[in-house]
Amino acid sequence: MNDDYDVIVCGAGVMGAAIALGLTRLGQRVLALDGGDGDFRAARANFGLLWVQGKGYGKPDYQALSHDAADRWPDFAAALQAQSGVDLQFEQRGGLQFCLGEAQMAARAERVATWQAQLPNISPCTEMIERSALMQLMPDATLGPDVSGASFCHRDGQINPLKLLRALQGALVAGGGTLVHGAPVSRITPESRNGFSVQAGTRIWRSAKVVIAAGLGSPALGAMVGLDVPIRPQRGQLLVTERLAPLLPYPASGLRQTGEGTVMIGVTQENVGLDMNTTTAAAAQMSRKALRVLPALSEVRWVRQWSALRIMTPDGAPVYAQSATHPGAFIALCHSGVTLAPIHAGPVAAAIVDGALPSAFNFFHHRRFHVSQAE
């Protein structure tokens, strides 16, 4: 390994690895430093959804970014699979959000209409489907009596999130990047000359630019280069069943069947700090909701329950910013690392090479939180 790079990416999860991969494709000498096995990795509880419907409600910029990502996913997946040799189990045929009862159906319809009206220049991609039409979409499943219908977004999809991470990291190395595992960054030091030194353990590397994409470890690193970004952890618990015959032809919010046949059930949204424990209360809550949609799951064994911590900004939208005091230091944070992966490997990586984020990313600067607090 060299000690000097064009860019060092602190964090090599789905987000950091995507940015690092994009940088290598642009001819940069890239070092990606991955944390330890005990780190709070959001990818551990990733549901594997490529999700557009409802994303960015009240935040048109985030909504537009999600649409852009969805448009990029087919080409991105094909190129990534070809470069890494990993089958992502990528599908983009649409996704569902089930509605239980007529009141929920009406509320969902109103929310979808409001969300789609935020971007009048983009063709509507989400429709409401009544129970009878939903049953035709799911011929191998018997819906519970409470299911009144669903919203269906044609741009939604799914992948295997662990295979995505493996593919991103593999393609990064295959493309000439350097990846070091078990190297959580402890310090970033702006050099008196241009550039930065980055320390992990006893090793120090240098680069012209640095990208902080270290999840919950990002605020501490950001403070070293003038990037004050507030985030909080949010625990998400999941259940997974034994393997079943094909049952769910489309992924749904909180319920999807994987390429291996298992059914994933989730996901909780718990503000409990850094607590990674699983709870019987959460298992019961998730099970009850899943059984209201698919009663046949009552005959199925669930084989595992686990949790992980998401990275949440105060308003739930991503953060992309460059330090005003230390140009060349960037930070990237979001909880939609799977959906936005083509954006991170594309426009975000290109902006880092150019040395400035485009005006289309102005909304995503973390100054929006500090302005809000000042008011």
Averaged over successive runs of 10 residues, the pLDDT of the chain (375 residues) comes to 84 96 98 79 75 97 98 98 96 97 98 97 96 95 96 97 95 97 95 89 96 95 96 93 95 94 93 93 95 96 91 96 97 95 98 96 94 49
pLDDT of residue 336: 92
Strand 157-158, strand 187-190: pairing: unpaired
Q: Which domains does the chain have, with CATH numbers?
A: 4-82+161-231+315-374 (3.50.50.60), 95-154 (no CATH), 232-312 (3.30.9.10)
pLDDT of residue 266: 87
> Cα torsion for 115, 118, 122, 124, to the nearest 10°?
30
Burial 32-61 (b: 16+ CB within 10 A, else e): bbbbeeebbbbbbbbbbbbbbbbbbeebbb
Q: Looking at this protein, which amino acid is placed at residue 313?
A: T
Angle between helices 14-25 and 161-174 (to 10 degrees): 30
Rg of the chain (C-alpha set): 21
Give CA–CA dist 332/17, Å, rounded. 12
Give CA–CA dist 134/139, Å, rounded. 9
Nearest to 96 by CA among 161, 154, 160: 154
pTM: 0.95
Give CA–CA dist 284/235, Å, rounded. 16
pLDDT of residue 37: 64
